[in-house]
Structure formats: C-alpha cells, structure tokens
Structure 1
Amino acid sequence: MSRPPLYTRRPFLAGLLRQLPLLLVLVGVAVGLGMVAFEYWRRGLVVVGVALVGGGLLRLLLPVRRVGFLAVRSRPADVVLLAGVGVTLAAFALAIPGE
C-alpha cells in the first residue's frame, strides 16, 4: 500500500515546506538587519547581501514547484535582480571607508 502524497495528507505542512527557500532568505535578511540594529552595520549589510545572493541561487537551482514565493517573475529576471542587488549591497558596504 502506498501512502498518499504529503499535500493531500497534510496540506498546511506541505505549504510550509514549499515556502522553505523564502523562509531561509528572510531569516538571513532578518539576521543581517539585526546586526545593523546593534551597530555592526557593515557585517550586517554583507549578511543581507549574501542572503539575497543565496536567494538568487535557490531561484536558479530549484524547480518551480519547490521554489515557492521566490518565483515572482521569470527565472532569469528573479536571479539577476536578487543576485544583482545582493552583490551591489555587499560591495557598497565593503567599499565605504571604515573607522
């Protein structure tokens, strides 16, 4: 006897698992913003940038049915925007002269 798929047995859990890539990116951004709030602004912005680049990689590598709400536009547009903003943010944070 085979078991029915997870989305029919537990639809809420299946929906949460489908949004796991977005949750990972949001946790990374929240950690980075927390670091900014505690006056580690340079490291915090780099963490936010790395989280966004990670979101771009997840969008590039995961299939559409697993990527959840990271899929907003077409795949190339999502990847370029997420990775581009992440790299730009991290580069600006590192390029500003320090203390």
Structure 2
Amino acid sequence: MTDAELQAIGEKVVDVLRTIYDPEIPVDIYELGLIYDVHVSDELDIKILMTLTSPNCPVAESLPEEVKEKVRSVDEVNEVEVEITFDPPWTKDMMSEEAMLELGFL
C-alpha cells in the first residue's frame, strides 16, 4: 500500500470522525480537538489516540465505542483501536478556529 493510499484512508477516517459530536457541545470531536492522532498501518488497522473534555465526561464509556464502530464502517478498514489519554489534558485552545467561532469564543 502506498503512502498516498494510506493517507487517503486516513482522510476517510477523519471524515467519519467529523460526524461524531460531543453530546454537550454542538461541535464534532475532530474540530473540538479531542482527536490527538489517527494512525493507519500497512495492514489497514486504525489506531486513534483521543481524549475527552474531562475525565468525568458523561460519555467516557460510550464515545470511544461510537468512534470505534463508526470508523470500522469505512470499507477499507480492518481493526480499530481507540486509546483514551489525558496527557496532555484537553483545553479549549485545542479547538479549531471553526469550533471556536461556532461556540462564540472568537
């Protein structure tokens, strides 16, 4: 698999991540800055490193599972692993400009 093909699959994964919303904030998890890394292996396994807005987030159990299920729906993808980290902790500075505009921070 070429780097371009792997990158194209990574972009499809990001497109899927943009359809998942934090239930308390009307912005998708990608624009919120909750996704730290998306890695596509040569075997088309996906590893996503993400965080939550807080360790006590009400969707701490369900959101990573939703990410896993939706990313698994991408045709080319084999396995999906979602790892949650709080290092570094999420802050609103991690949001995209689009998210900040949407939430009135700009």
TM-score by length of 1: 0.27
Q: Compare the two structures and name the one with the higher helix fraction.
A: 1
TM-score by length of 2: 0.26
Q: Compare the two structures and name the one with the higher strand fraction.
A: 2
Of the two, which has the highest radius of gyration? Answer: 1
